[in-house]
Chains A and B, each alone.
Chain A
């Protein structure tokens, strides 16, 4: 049970971008895809190309898949577009309760060479996304994503101005290191979670 990547991106229209675009605010790919290695060439060039491809693949997931499906889902449910509903700092739990969520399949070759499943959570103007391998325990992935989103909202104060998602990325790293180590989904009962929360609290308090 492995996760390919985790991202946080915008669902709302962003300044310079058109309203169908999305800004990826944080992305983390767990492990390089070594099946795509070409013939041994210039290492630097290869790294550069790989990095570019990865960034573009994730942008596709954010923009074309999650953002548009989330917009359609909100429209179908009669909720007010992709704008903010108004929960403020301290109301993280409420914001999560109201969050939209869904799952989609990324077909083979679009944008990844192999088929993947995307689990997403739309909290107000932000999308939280796990790109999972095709046959994943989605119930577990969903729970993990919710827990990651909750921690991000709290530890990065995302219901405030939201700038910490860019300036305190180390916090997301620490969260992922505990809750989704190397993309491994974990079967955590409430006591395991409690222990990890305590560790996180201690580590992020500083």
Chain B
């Protein structure tokens, strides 16, 4: 498909020598001069395009080639292929002067190819202005040619999207009127279809037949993009283009205050002017519409108002047409796109003029009734929900059912649809404030919303980074934390659910209780795991809690732990956890912070066993544990028992080293009367003894012992913390000093020297030495080792070299110099 030959073409085009290139230019110049438009010219121009387009830096064409390409482009008699080539080359190369292009606006195709160059190469607003104004002149009713080429509308659409402000109120009114004509007054007969009859009858015109609906019935009302004909007339094409651009147009110019600054001033003048225009779209009645009975035909409307009115009716008709059973599959898809567009356009109109809300609701409601519960139409629900969100209050319509459908049903049934997932999250992003403030179901459904993320995590992570804060309140924080931690389990569960050949609703779904479960798929169908899967797959917050048996769930899902989708999901969790903790810290809720610390200790070991997952999560836990302690230092006292259990378990060193060292650091830092009056000598001693026992256990030197499986940082951290605690309860000083003095035999033992580097050993010994010296002066030690109340971020301890405040190092050096003076 992409062969190496193709790659070498790019290389050749990029590396072409100047001399060769000049020769190539003159060949092209000669060919064009001779008006030779044969294969050789085409082939050369195709190569020229490759040469000018494949480099990052533009190539400058010789003046004569440039001029010849310009005149080739601008001549209506040039074949489309050559026009396409010359416009492509001119777009990509230098230099360019768009004013050098002169074009006859009669020929739509030529105008269009020239415009591609003008719109890309334009460097000044005026250049686009000139083009736009010439285009608009073609639309004026007094233009002789009458018919406007269908190529012009997309140019207009693009130009105005580049520079919406250059249209004056006059222009806006002019285009509005034309759009009404194309949307509303388009011929409903099929285009003339010339076909050569039999040999004797000769060519004849078939009697024009009316266009049909997508289901083959004769069109029931005015022409829309959902009308089918063998051939289309020029105005039917225009109608299609007009509808295609109507949303953008209304967004830009719907508002009565839009357009240029003196719009309001213009308005009056234009209104009186428009009355005199002999324009068929001024007065209603030339086409009787069956469904437009409510239109305000009796009053003359401003062009913008008329356009709103007609666009609204058009959308109404589209919604009705979308209910027809299309004969062609591609038309079914178009119907869906039309429903989305129609509801969106109605929404735009209603936002500008709320009087439309009452007319629109019955249609939107009816559409909702048709598409709800039909999975094929889920994406249509989003603009409908948007409409309800924007207007249900005005119309006093109950929107509960729509949001229930959207949040409770759609995510759990359609999480595997990437497009829907994206649009769903965009809908949430766009409305995040109103959803989180006034749609209770939004936050309530977070477990369901997480299904999109669990399935499409790489594509959606940035969306959820934005959404997570809106889902999170102090009341659901703990549950969200558990859900985030179990997100990879959710991925595994929905994957199993999707692969399961039987639905849980089926009679045969559940296996016999006595069956021994050997795979996650069997577990999914086993009654004894039902509760767990129901919990993981829950659609709303607060239903069920099986944390006690999470280990069992992790175990049974272990056969899918290395499946790529699960691994990808696991990689996104730390990102979200960071956001989670940052927000929770902002809540500053004391009770919540206390609870979180407990969950953090508990869940640090209770995680789905995915490669690197535990380590990454613990890393996040570690840094945020310190933040939480800083916010709420007394939690060290409140969770004394749990922290003693955690730090007293030497197994935690090998399985959660990072978190372990952070917890130990926090104990040394925050177990102090300066934070909490309850830090009695007894309590400090209790912590001291627990940590002392741990340090003793891990530094026991036996010849047969295997090398330590933890980093030297654990040792230095324990030593420092013991010293800190001793400085606050000075009876402990002799004990810790004695202990520290024995560190040399540990650090120099064979198993240790075999696995720690020389610097590491040096670090341990220096630290021990520093601490011993410091503790010789208890009052100094108390000052140096006291908690750093301000100025120091809790992160500095991470770096081994700055494990203690700089003050300590400085003092230690002073002390060491005066070592001889100190009492032994």
| B49 in contact with A169 (CB, 8 Å) | yes
Interface residues as binary, B135-160 with A (CB distance below 8 Å gives 1, 0 otherwise)? 00000000000000001011101110
Q: Decide if B228 is an interface residue (CB 8 Å cutoff).
A: yes
Given A55-B56, A72-B458, answer yes or no on A138-B162 (Cβ-Cβ < 8 Å): no
Chain A's interface size range is 35 or more
User: By the criterion CB–CB under 8 Å, are B162 and A31 in contact?
Assistant: yes
Indicate whether A191 sits within 8 Å of B96 (C-beta atoms), given known contacts A31-B162, A158-B1, A170-B85: no
A64 within 8 A of B: no
Q: Judge if B780 is at the interface, Cβ distance under 8 Å.
A: no
Q: Which of B13, B85, B128, B337 has the most CB of A within 10 A?
A: B337
- Cα separation A124 to B2 with both chains bound (whole Å): 10
Q: How far is the CA of A206 from the CA of B81 in the complex (A)?
A: 9
A75 to B457, CA, bound (A): 13
In the complex, per-residue mask of A129-163: 1 if CB is within 8 Å of any chain B CB, else 0: 00001000111101100000000000000111111
Q: Give CA–CA (A122, B2) in the complex, Å.
A: 13
* Contact yes or no, A169 B88, CB < 8 A: yes
Closest Cβ of chain A to B534, distance in Å, is 25
Q: How far is the CA of A103 from the CA of B120 in the complex (A)?
A: 26
In-complex Cβ contact of B247 among A1, A56, A143, A195 (8 A): A1
Chain A residues within an 8 Å CB radius of B338: 187
Q: What mask results when residues 87 to 126 of chain B are scored 1 for a CB within 8 Å of chain A, else 0? A: 1100010111000000000000000110110011111110
Give a binary string over B43-68; 1 marks a CB under 8 Å from any A CB, 0 the rest: 00111011001101110000000000
Residue of B nearest to A194 (CB): B230
A18 interface contact, C-beta 8 A: no
Q: Is the CB of A47 within 8 A of B81?
A: no
Q: B7 is contacted by which of A16, A43, A107, A137 (Cβ under 8 Å)? A: A16
Instruction: Say whether, besides A15-B7, A76-B564, A184 and B123 are in contact (CB < 8 Å).
Output: no
What sequence of 0s and 1s flags, for each residue 68-103 of chain A, a beta carbon within 8 Å of any chain B beta carbon?
110011011110000010000000000000000111
Give the distance to chain B from A94, nearest Cβ to Cβ, in Å: 13
Q: How far is the CA of A176 from the CA of B373 in the complex (A)?
A: 37
Asked if B529 is at the interface of the complex by the 8 Å CB criterion, the answer is: no
CB <8 Å contact, A190 and B458? no
For A73, the chain B residues whose CB sits under 8 A away are 418, 458-459
Asked whether A112 is an interface residue with its Cβ less than 8 Å from the other chain, the reply is: no
Q: Report how far A34 CA is from B123 CA in the complex, Å.
A: 7
Residue pair A182, B154 in contact (C-beta under 8 Å):
yes
Q: Which residue of A lies closest to B81 (CB)?
A: A170
Contacts A31-B158, A170-B84 known; A187 to B341 CB distance under 8 Å?
yes
Which residues in B have their C-beta under 8 angstroms from that of A75? Answer: 564, 568
Given A31-B158, A170-B46: A187 in contact with B225 (beta carbons within 8 A): yes
Q: Contacts A14-B7, A169-B49, A186-B241 given; indicate if A102 touches B331 (C-beta within 8 A).
A: no
Q: Mark B319-341, 1 if CB is under 8 A from A, else 0.
A: 00000000010110110111011
Measured CB to CB, the closest approach of chain A to B785, in angstroms, equals 46
Contact partner, B244, options A50, A166, A184, Cβ 8 Å: A184
Is the CB of A29 closer than 8 A to any CB of chain B? yes
Partner of A190, one of B53, B331, B426: B331
A126 in complex: contacting residue of B1, B94, B344, CB < 8 Å: B1
A23 B7 Cβ-Cβ under 8 A: yes
Closest A residue to B85 by CB, please name it: A170
Contacts of B9 in A (CB 8 A): 163, 166-167
Q: Is A181 an interface residue (CB 8 A)?
A: yes
| A173 touches which of B84, B163, B330 (Cβ 8 Å) | B84
Q: List, in ascending order, chain B residues with CB within 8 A of A167's CB.
A: 9, 46-47, 50
Contact B333 A107 (CB under 8 A): no
The residue in chain A whose Cβ has the minimal distance to the Cβ of B327 is: A190
Cβ contact within 8 Å between A32 and B119? yes
Tell me the complex Cα distance, A138–B80, Å.
30
Known A37-B123, A76-B568, A190-B331; judge A30-B419 contact (CB<8 A).
Answer: no
Chain B residues near A190: list those with CB within 8 A: 228, 328, 330-331, 334
Q: Mark A43-66, 1 if CB is under 8 A from B, else 0.
A: 110111011100110000000000
Beta-carbon contact of B161 and A2 below 8 Å: yes
Given A107-B462, A162-B3, A187-B341, residue A203 in contact with residue B47 (CB < 8 A): no
Check: B6 CB closer than 8 A to any chain A CB: yes
A206 to B379, CA, bound (A): 41
Q: Is A19 positioned at the interface, with any CB of B under 8 Å from its CB?
A: no
Residues of chain B with a CB closer than 8 A to A188's CB: 225, 240, 334
Of B96, B119, B226, B328, which contacts A182 at CB under 8 A?
B119
- Cα of A50 to Cα of B46 in the assembled complex, Å: 24
Answer yes or no: B565 CB below 8 A from chain A CBs. yes
CA distance A44 to B119 in the complex (A): 16
Tell whether B756 is near chain A: CB-to-CB under 8 Å: no
Give Cα A78 to B499, complex, Å.
13
CA of A15 to CA of B10, assembled, Å: 11
The residue that A168 contacts in the complex, of B46, B122, B159, B333, with Cβ under 8 A, is: B46
* Residue from B121, B161, B226 with most neighbouring chain A CB atoms (10 Å): B161
Interface of A toward B, CB cutoff 8 Å = 1-2, 10, 12, 14-16, 23, 25, 27, 29-34, 37, 40, 43-44, 46-48, 50-52, 55-56, 68-69, 72-73, 75-78, 84, 101-105, 107, 124-126, 133, 137-140, 142-143, 158-163, 165-170, 173-174, 177, 181-193, 195, 203, 206
Some 24 contacts from A to B, beta carbons below 8 A apart, are: A23-B2, A31-B159, A31-B161, A34-B163, A44-B94, A47-B123, A48-B58, A51-B57, A51-B92, A69-B459, A104-B459, A140-B337, A161-B5, A162-B2, A162-B6, A167-B47, A170-B42, A170-B84, A182-B154, A187-B334, A187-B337, A187-B338, A189-B226, A189-B331
In the complex, given contacts A34-B128, A191-B230, what are 4 additional A-B residue pairs having Cβ atoms less than 8 angstroms apart?
A: A1-B248, A34-B122, A184-B241, A189-B227
Complex A-B, nearest 4 residue pairs according to Cβ-Cβ distance, in ascending order? A181-B154, A173-B84, A184-B154, A76-B565
